[in-house]
């Protein structure tokens, strides 16, 4: 068996929270495919999707307790090198959790338009300990990171392609990187 494969373990994230020990494994190679064999990028670059992807990753990197070590856009899928940073999320105050989450999902009125985030709203959410604990978990979750990355990209991509429905496959694959040699191999 090649050396790189000795250090990589394939895992389905169906029970990710049960199989990941963040004290041991920090880096993961995550792969997400497009449905319909749709192209992420056009050959001439005219679709502008690379800029969308780059911007979305930078935004999500600032909000989540997940670091993006790198990414590679292939014809019909994308590879992410991601690192869980549980300590970072555990150090955030309740107010910081609320601010980060409202950046992702601003409160909306009955007309579905975003409302202004007030100090009263922030304090009300920050005082809800159960909501803060659940949201803290979400802000350090691969599943939520990938969901919040893919969903806003799917709408304009479908519009460009003139179709509806899912743009990305629902599931993604994640490969645990167990050694420094494997991390270097993935980065190369």
In a structure prediction context, what are the per-residue pLDDT tens digits for the chain, which is 188 residues long?
444 444 444 444 344 444 556 666 778 888 888 887 677 766 555 567 778 888 888 888 899 999 888 888 887 888 888 888 888 889 999 999 999 999 999 888 888 888 888 889 899 999 999 999 999 999 998 889 988 888 888 888 888 878 888 888 777 888 888 777 777 777 77
- Say if 99 falls within a structural domain: no
Residue 167 has a CB neighbour count (10 Å cut-off) of: 21
Instruction: State the burial class of residue 170 (Cβ atoms within 10 Å of its Cβ: 0-12, 13-18, 19+).
Output: exposed
pTM value?
A: 0.78
- CA–CA gap between residue 143 and residue 104 (Å, rounded): 15
- CA–CA gap between residue 32 and residue 78 (Å, rounded): 6
- CA–CA gap between residue 128 and residue 61 (Å, rounded): 25
- Say if 107 falls within a structural domain: no
Cβ-count burial 11-20 (b if 16+ within 10 Å, e if not): bebeeeeeeb
- Say if 176 falls within a structural domain: yes
Domain of residue 51, residue span: 3-92+139-187
Question: Cα dist. 134→66, 83, 127 in Å?
Answer: 16, 20, 13
Number of domains into which the chain is organized? 1
- Say if 117 falls within a structural domain: no
- Say if 116 falls within a structural domain: no
33, containing H or E segment: strand 27-33
- CA–CA gap between residue 106 and residue 116 (Å, rounded): 8
Asked if 78 and 40 touch (Cβ cutoff 8 Å), the reply is: yes
């Amino acid at each position: 068996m090649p050396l790189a494969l000795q250090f990589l373990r394939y895992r389905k994230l169906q029970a990710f929270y049960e199989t990941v020990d963040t004290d041991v494994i920090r880096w993961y190679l995550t792969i997400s495919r497009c449905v319909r064999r749709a192209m992420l990028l056009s050959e001439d670059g005219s679709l502008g999707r690379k800029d969308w992807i780059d911007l979305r990753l930078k935004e999500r990197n600032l909000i989540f307790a997940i670091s993006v070590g790198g990414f590679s856009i292939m014809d019909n899928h994308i590879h992410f090198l991601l690192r869980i940073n549980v300590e970072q999320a555990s150090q955030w105050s309740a107010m910081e959790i609320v601010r980060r989450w409202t950046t992702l999902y601003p409160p909306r009125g009955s007309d579905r338009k975003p409302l202004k985030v007030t100090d009263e709203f922030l304090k009300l959410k920050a005082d809800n300990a159960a909501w803060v604990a659940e949201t803290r978990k979400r802000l350090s979750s691969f599943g939520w990171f990938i969901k919040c990355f893919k969903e806003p990209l799917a709408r304009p991509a479908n519009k460009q392609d003139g179709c509806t429905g899912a743009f990305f496959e629902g599931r993604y694959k994640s490969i645990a990187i167990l050694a420094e040699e494997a991390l270097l191999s993935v980065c190369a």
